[in-house]
Amino acid sequence: MKFSVIFEAQLADPTVEREHQVIRDCVEQAVLAERMGFDRIWAVEHHSLKWYAHMSAPEVFLSFVAARTNTIRIGHGVVCMPFNFNHPARVAERAAMLDLLSGGRLDLGAGRGGTEQETSLCGVDRERTAQEVEEALRIIGKAWQQDELEYHGELIDIAPHPILPRPAQTPHPPLFLACSREETLVQAAELGIGALVMGFAGPESIAAMRTVYDAARAGRDGSRFVSTAVNDHFSVLCPTIVLDDPEEARRTGIRGQRFFAQSIGHWYGGAGVPDEAVVDGTDEAAEMRRAAEQVVARLNEQRIPVRPTSTATFNADHAYGSADDAIAYVERLRDAGADEIMCLVQMGTVPQEACLETLRQWGEKVIPHFRNGLPAGRGGAAVPDGPGGPAATAGGAE
């Protein structure tokens, strides 16, 4: 099983000075993650989502981290693939350059960036985002396996052009798709690419999502593959804060997650601005429940169906507490089918000291527990561990 850290660069009270500091803090965490034995870092791409994500140029962030590290893999989790955000040929060029300069350490995820706030900034047609993401993946898969890229699709035409440079990994860096619904899990499996899964709903939900993904893998015939290199890796988000004081870790983690949930609710669901205050002695679990109830009330008032996903980000049962608590939770995720644990540590109200201590505790106590011969998850095809490694097992065999 692999272990990684994902960065949103989110923050409460987002002054210019604090924004600059949080980006530097993320770099410090990424460098420490390599020393602590993590396999990979991921950086999101979002635009104009104040509070929730200030990571607008992940290609620059990842390049800077790559120059400061030697072995840890560098992941786009994800690139916003609609064409007005990023032309597919430019994604291929930038990704190949980073893969080359990092010594073959890049992983490339795709996503929609579908909030009205983001799409309105770049003139993206929200009705076409899903179709453009899939077409972009097909273009990128072709760009790295042919001497010249030529593509004539429903949405875009590209006359023959060489795409330069070529990546270090052969035939290209592993491809992933952000997945939060059954239909995107099926899409990822049928396209032959890995799944980056939001894990807020907990291990039972993850097990159900893994079942959907595996069923789609079993039923596919290869006709929708975007590349000859198939990647069946199943990565799962895991919010976590681990400190010597387990109760303080729980308070800090749940407070950070409440900010995360309120921030995402603001931009994705029209909720009010997130609560930025951190008050000592607050019962954060109770505040989290109250915040979830407010979401349900707002949806009922607007006559919008309340689905499990509506309040998933307010589920506080995660890897908060001691290292033993984190181990127990990761074991549940492993048993649910996770091939990779994506640690969400940097949440808007979490102090840098708590982020760094959490990474140390995982490196010294949690990760070693799973590196001593214990069984892994259900065995999705592994991404490569170094330059030139195979992107995955051809045809989805394991």
Query: pLDDT, tens digit, for every residue of 170-216?
Result: 999 999 999 999 999 999 999 999 999 998 999 999 999 999 999 99
pLDDT tens per residue, range 135-161: 999 999 999 999 999 999 999 999 999
> pLDDT at residue 326 above 90?
yes
Say whether pLDDT at 36 is over 50: yes
Residues 234-278 pLDDT 10s: 999 999 999 999 999 999 999 999 999 999 989 987 788 899 889
Lowest average pLDDT, out of 59-63, 64-68, 371-375, goes to 371-375
pLDDT(377) > 50:
no
Residue the block writes with tokens 């104009």:
48
236, 179 contact by CB (below 8 A): no
Tokens 């490569």 belong to: 384
Q: Which of 9, 94, 382 is nearest to 230 (CA)?
A: 382
Which tokens belong to 224? Answer: 């929708």
Whole-angstrom Cα distance, residue 87 to residue 394?
Answer: 28
Predicted confidence (pLDDT) per residue in 122-135, tens digit: 999 999 999 999 99
Lowest mean pLDDT among 71-75, 228-232, 275-279: 275-279
